[in-house]
Amino acid sequence: MTAKSIVGFVLLLVAAATTWYLSQSLNNGEVEVTTTGGVRSGFYLRSARILGTGTDGQYLYEINADFAEQVADNLIELKNVRITYSSGSNIPWKLAADRATIIGEEGYLLLEGHVVATSSQDFSSEVTEIRTQYLEFNPRAYRAETDYRVQVRIGSRSLTATGMLALLEDNQLTLKSNVNGKFVP
C-alpha cells in the first residue's frame, strides 16, 4: 500500500466515525411511529346499481347511486340515490335522496337529505309528490315512514304534516300530526 492510499483509508474511517457519532448524538432515543389506519376491508363503487329481490327471489327494485361504500359489515352508504320498482311489481313509486344507508341483509334503507317520492298513478293522473328530509324505507315491505316534517303535493293541492306512514303497495298514505293543507279548486 502506498502512503496516499493509507491516508485516504484513514480519512474514510474518520468520516464514517464522525457520521456515526453525529447521528447518535442527534437521535433523542424516541422512535416516531406513524399509522395510516391500516387496510380497510369493504368496497366502494362509482355509478353503483343494486338489484333487490322479493321473498320469491324475483327482481323487485333497483337502487342507483353515484357512489357506494361499505363502511361496516352490514352498513353501506350511498350518495345521490334513486330507487325504482320493477315494472312487474305494479308499484308506481320512485324515490330519490342525497344520501342513503343500507342496513343489514334485508336491504332496509335510511334516506336523508332532500328525499322525494313520486308517483303518477291513481290520483286523477296527477303527479303525487312527497318531500321530507329523512325517511325510513323498507322496499321489500313497500313501507316508508318518517317522524320528520313532510310535504305532500297532488297536482295543485298541498298538505304538510309532521310524520307519515306510506304503504306503497296499497297506495295508502297516513299523516301523523300537525296536518295543514291548501286546496285550490
pLDDT beyond 50 at 141: yes
CA 123 to CA 156: how far, in whole Å? Answer: 12
The residue ranges of every structural domain in the chain are 44-182
Phi then psi dihedrals of residue 120, to 5 deg: -115, 20
- End-to-end alpha carbon distance in the chain: 113
Q: Give the count of alpha carbons within 13 A of 138, CB side only.
A: 14
CATH superfamily for 44-182 is: Lipopolysaccharide (LPS) transport protein A like domain (2.60.450.10)
Question: Rounded mean pLDDT of the chain?
Answer: 83
**Order of strands across the sheet that contains 157-167:** 44-53, 59-72, 75-85, 94-103, 108-119, 128-138, 143-154, 157-167, 172-182
Return the pLDDT at 130: 93
pTM above threshold 0.95:
no
In this structure, which amino acid lies at residue 185?
P
Q: Is 68:77 a contact under the CB 8 Å cutoff?
A: yes
Whole-number pLDDT of residue 66: 94
Tell me what the mean pLDDT of segment 135-155 comes to.
92
Question: How do residues 151-164 score in pLDDT, each as one tens digit?
Answer: 999 888 888 999 99
